Amino acid sequence: MAEERVILVDADDREIGTMEKLAAHERGGVRHRAFSVFIVDPADRWLLQRRAAGKYHFPGLWTNACCSHPRPGEDVAAAAHRRLREELGFDCPLTERFRFEYQATSAAEGLTEHELDHVFTGVHGGAIQPDPAEVGATRWIDPAELEAELRAHPESFTPWFKLALEQVRALL
């Protein structure tokens, strides 16, 4: 299997190189391009996924529908569609809404995300076919229920999800 690489970027999202994916998350992390996809259904429920237990960092936490990294030479939107199909077995129209930079360390694994994250939203009401190597579980959740759960158990959610959620909520 080919080595997975991420795209290193400066603070303005200009490409400055590539790096092996795991190495980019070690020793405090190196800024790289990423994306997060938030999906709602026609009833305005949010699609959440629980990261598979075998994920290299932040395993078992709830997060947005899909998140990953574009490959070198791959458009961010194309990567978002690719990962929706690979992780959840569906695709739908997506709109890029905003981007933000963050750093978050997973103490258990000693790995750090330092990402410039492009955030996409979409609407999907059809079937979901999660890849068990990527996704431990999925569920649709009402926004009020999600807010209550976040207040009661913030440790159950990924850092990027909590950071992006406020802005996404204002858009949907």
d(CA 137, CA 62): 9
Among candidate residues 9, 172, 46, 14, the one with its CA nearest the CA of residue 97: 172
Determine the Cα angle at 133 with ends 13 and 75, to 5°.
25
Averaged pLDDT for residues 37-55: 94
Give residue-wise pLDDT tens across range 102-150: 999 888 888 899 999 999 999 999 999 999 999 999 999 999 999 999 9
Determine the distance from the C-alpha atom of residue 127 to the mean position of all C-alpha atoms in its chain, rounded to a whole number.
20
Please say if 134 is a catalytic residue.
no
Determine the distance from the C-alpha atom of residue 16 to the mean position of all C-alpha atoms in its chain, rounded to a whole number.
22
* Residue tagged active-site, from 115, 134, 145, 155: 115
What's the number of domains the chain is made of? 1
**How many CA atoms are closer than 13 Å to the CA of 49, on its beta-carbon side?**
27
d(CA 39, CA 16): 31
Please say if 67 is a catalytic residue.
yes
Least confident of 79-83, 98-102, 108-112: 108-112
Among candidate residues 163, 153, 164, 158, the one with its CA nearest the CA of residue 51: 158
* Residue tagged active-site, from 66, 67, 87, 113: 67
> 106: domain range?
5-171
What pTM value is reported for the model?
Answer: 0.94
Among candidate residues 26, 34, 31, 108, the one with its CA nearest the CA of residue 64: 34
Kindly report the CATH number assigned to the domain that includes residue 88.
3.90.79.10
DSSP 11: T
